[in-house]
């Protein structure tokens, strides 16, 4: 019997006025799988992640999570979904006027009944995981861009979601911060988490993803293992490779 997908996108279409971003998107994400979602700038990768967590409505098609359609849900129903499917924003999106502790504790106060003591322990644990232990009292402005991104990622994973959507978690980071983020992603994968990893970093995607997808002209133009991606004769894959080398 075929394994059931945890999350499935079926025939998704999305336009902003005349700008057709998604023509017909179909994809499946399985338990404990890491999907790499590649594609040129403006092809709709971030919009796709936002559609999954309901930050963007789709024009047609379905987002199925555990057999339930979750597209276009009302805010109150999305509240629950977002504890299970978490979106790690492209820019970290920290609250600038709150310190690291408050930024990380926020989802726990919002979605759990944990005591302050339990929340403090959880925050300390997650800071350890991302290699920023003891930084609870720092303000976002005290942190480098790379550290802010790591805190943003910590906030996305603190509720132990089933699915994590990473939107360019390593973009603009130095090699050491990049390595830190990738190793956290690998650790989480080891705990059974499923994820979609949007990135322009092809080597990173090849290293940690089980499957690579290319978004091109509103559709998933390629889906295959890292090996199949490298060996592909598909002209879209080849063009994508060439363009990404030119961008460097």
Ligand X SMILES: Nc1ncnc2c1ncn2[C@@H]1O[C@H](COP(=O)(O)OP(=O)(O)OP(=O)(O)O)[C@@H](O)[C@H]1O
Cα–Cα distances (Å) from 233 to 201, 212, 214, 229, 239, in that order, read 20, 15, 14, 9, 10
Q: How far is the CB of 223 from ligand X (least distance, A)?
A: 17
Out of 43, 88, 103, 170, which residue is the one contacting ligand X (CB under 6 A)? 43
Give residue for tokens 């132990």.
160
CB contact burial 51-68 (16+ within 10 A = b; e otherwise)? bbbbebebeebebbbeee
Out of 26, 42, 110, 238, which residue is the one contacting ligand X (CB under 6 A)? 42
Residue nearer to ligand X on the CB measure, 15 or 97: 15
Segment near ligand X (CB under 6 A); pick from 5-13, 26-34, 43-51, 108-116? 43-51
Out of 5, 6, 12, 21, which residue is the one contacting ligand X (CB under 6 A)? 21
Contact between 18 and ligand X per CB under 6 A:
no
3-state SS assignment for residue 3:
coil
Count of residues interacting with ligand X (CB under 6 A)? 11
Residue 139 falls in which region: left (phi positive, over 0), alpha (psi -120 to 50) or beta: beta
Q: Rounded CA gap, 108 and 88, in Å? A: 16
Structure tokens at 210: 């089980």
Provide the binding-site residues for Mg ion, judged by CB under 5 A: 46
Contact between 46 and ligand X per CB under 6 A:
yes
Judged by beta carbon distances under 5 to 8 A according to partner kind, the member of ligand X, Mg ion, none in contact with residue 134 is none
Taking the C-alpha atoms of 50, 20, 210 and 85 in order, what is their torsion angle to the nearest 10 degrees?
20
Judged by beta carbon distances under 5 to 8 A according to partner kind, the member of Mg ion, ligand X, none in contact with residue 194 is none
Residue 60 falls in which region: left (phi positive, over 0), alpha (psi -120 to 50) or beta: beta
Residue nearer to ligand X on the CB measure, 47 or 100: 47
Residue nearer to ligand X on the CB measure, 49 or 126: 49
Positions touching ligand X (CB under 6 A) are 16, 19, 21, 39, 41-47
């Amino acid at each position: 019997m075929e394994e059931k997908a945890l999350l499935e996108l079926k025939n998704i279409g999305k336009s902003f006025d005349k700008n057709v971003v998604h023509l017909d998107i179909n994809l499946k994400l399985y338990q404990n799988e890491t999907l790499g979602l590649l594609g040129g700038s403006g092809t709709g990768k971030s919009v796709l992640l936002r559609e999954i967590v309901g930050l963007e409505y789709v024009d047609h098609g379905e987002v199925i999570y555990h057999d339930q359609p979750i597209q276009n849900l009302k805010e109150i129903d999305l509240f629950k979904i977002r504890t299970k499917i978490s979106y790690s924003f492209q820019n970290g999106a920290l609250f600038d006027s709150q310190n690291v502790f408050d930024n990380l504790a926020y989802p726990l106060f919002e979605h759990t009944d944990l005591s302050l003591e339990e929340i403090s322990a959880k925050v300390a644990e997650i800071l350890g995981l991302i290699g920023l232990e003891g930084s609870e009292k720092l303000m976002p402005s005290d942190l480098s861009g790379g550290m802010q991104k790591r805190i943003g990622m910590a906030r996305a994973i603190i509720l132990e979601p089933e699915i994590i959507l990473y939107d360019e978690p390593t973009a603009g980071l130095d090699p050491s911060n990049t390595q830190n983020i990738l190793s956290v992603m690998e650790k989480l994968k080891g705990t059974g988490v499923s994820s979609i990893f949007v990135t322009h970093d092809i080597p990173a995607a090849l290293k940690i993803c089980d499957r690579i997808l290319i978004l091109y002209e509103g559709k998933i133009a390629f889906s295959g293992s890292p090996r199949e991606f490298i060996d592909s004769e598909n002209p879209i894959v080849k063009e994508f490779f060439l363009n990404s080398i030119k961008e460097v």
